[in-house]
Structure 1
Amino acid sequence: MDRQLAVGTLAIHPVHIEAWPIYDKSQTPQLPTHRKEVAVKLHLGCGKKYIPGYIHIDAQPLPHVHHVRPVEDLSLFTDCSIEVIYASHVLEHFGRHEYLRVLKEWYRVLRPGGLLRVGVPDFRSIAEEYASGHLENGLRDLIGLCVGGQRDDYDYHKMVFDEVILTGAFEHAGFSRVQRWDWHDTEHSSLDDYTQAHLPHMNKKDGRLMSLNLEAIK
């Protein structure tokens, strides 16, 4: 059935969508069948999170990961071959002299009109929450957002972003129509990842969103 994929507030080209297999972690992950008319979508730095219909790429060999490789190297994909890239709290793991190169690589593989959607820790929200003096556990509530969980070699933050810096980075890499996106309105809204991080923790109704979520078009 032909329909239009609505991604946030931006529309993706009409495509033919077939039923994607449900993830069964007991099975070897199968790549979605991608024909010319089907949107090829990447979930970069997916960690333990799985989105049906996406190709999952991560440095860790988890059961659902299709390609175990660095997310900054997408050389297995040709130029202009990807419709959507989703990266939740990935970009901050690259240094201040690295993240622009990563964005340019993601730009390379996206089709004209393709969508890049990312989330990063929102430094403005972090600073304002710390300065408020109202945090139950003080700085401890913010350390993970600032420096990462540090549970493994990949779990360290090297860069901070606010909306001005991240918007400028997108535009420098070639993207346009940069805007915020609302996780409620996405096809992966049921996925509780860091783009939905709130303080107080898990208080998505009354808490403050601590993730800066921006999307842009190639």
Structure 2
Amino acid sequence: MKRVLNVGGGSKDIPLPPQYAGFTQVLLDIDPTGQPDICCDARELATLEAAQFDAVYCSHNLEHYHRHEVHGVLAGFRHVLKPDGFAQIRVPDIPAVMKSVVERGLDLEDTLYDSPAGPISVLDVVYGLGRQIQASGVDFYAHKTGFSNRSLTRALERAGFSRSFSALGNFEINALAFTGEPSPEARALFGLPG
């Protein structure tokens, strides 16, 4: 059975993307409230057993680390991945946000888009969801690093991922990073070019 490490997923009640159907989910989170399988900070991934996961899924968590910590987190992803494994990383697309802000004449506190969590302001995307930070009482949820497609690709390369693909849309970068050449199964799973 294939295993996916869901980094910072909050709880298992938050569904993984459909591509992970059939994978066993192992939840890693810094907050014990969601009852993660592994309660630790993603900066500590290198202390876990190596090569135990087929995939790492990291949705909107990498931006919570300072720029100088990003390499260590990504290296931790590589550490826990099997040799043919991959990481899926989703982060806000800061250039797309800024382009929309300029084109629409928005201010920092204006609504950028409406989400299931309510209206999301420009500040929420750039600095983290303000209501979540305020409710938590901690600034861990604040965004400390912004990414462009190019900066995320470079960070993945520096961390030793040999091949990456990314898609842009909805103010988000969705990157797939592979430790080696993507397997035919992974290419089919994500509709990657052959």
Range into which the TM-score falls when normalised by the shorter chain: 0.7 to 0.9
Q: Mind listing any 5+ residue stretches in structure 1 that lack a counterpart?
A: 1-37, 183-207
Could you tell me whether the CA contact under 8 Å between 2:97 and 2:122 is conserved in 1?
A: yes
Q: Distance in 2 between matches of 1:213 and 1:134?
A: 26
Match of 2:156 in 1: 170
Q: Distance in 2 between matches of 1:39 and 1:181?
A: 24
Match of 1:71 among 18, 42, 46: 42
Two-structure CA RMSD over aligned residues (Å): 1.9
Normalised TM-score (structure 1): 0.65
Aligned length: 154
For 1:100-139, list aligned pairs within 5 A.
100-135=71-106, 138-139=107-108
Calculate percent identity across the aligned residue pairs: 27
The structure with more radius of gyration? 1
Query: How far apart are residue 74 of structure 1 and its match?
Result: 2.2
* 2:127 is the alignment partner of 1:147: yes
Match of 1:180 in 2: 166
Q: What letter is aligned with 1:160? A: G
Q: Distance in 2 between matches of 1:85 and 1:160?
A: 20
Q: Distance in 2 between matches of 1:92 and 1:132?
A: 25
Could you tell me whether the CA contact under 8 Å between 1:95 and 1:158 is conserved in 2?
A: yes
Could you tell me whether the CA contact under 8 Å between 2:167 and 2:173 is conserved in 1?
A: no
Normalised TM-score (structure 2): 0.73
Could you tell me whether the CA contact under 8 Å between 2:66 and 2:144 is conserved in 1?
A: yes
Q: Mind listing any 5+ residue stretches in structure 2 that lack a counterpart?
A: 17-22, 110-120, 180-194
Divergent runs of 4+, >4 A: none
Match of 1:195 in 2: none
Query: How far apart are residue 53 of structure 1 and its match?
Result: 2.6
Q: Distance in 2 between matches of 1:104 and 1:75?
A: 8
The structure whose residues are more often strand, as a share, is 2
Distance 1:63 1:103, change over 3 A: closer
The structure whose residues are more often helix, as a share, is 2
Secondary structure of the structure 1 residue equivalent to 2:67? coil
Match of 2:6 in 1: 43
Q: Distance in 2 between matches of 1:68 and 1:159?
A: 23
Query: How far apart are residue 161 of structure 1 and its match?
Result: 0.5
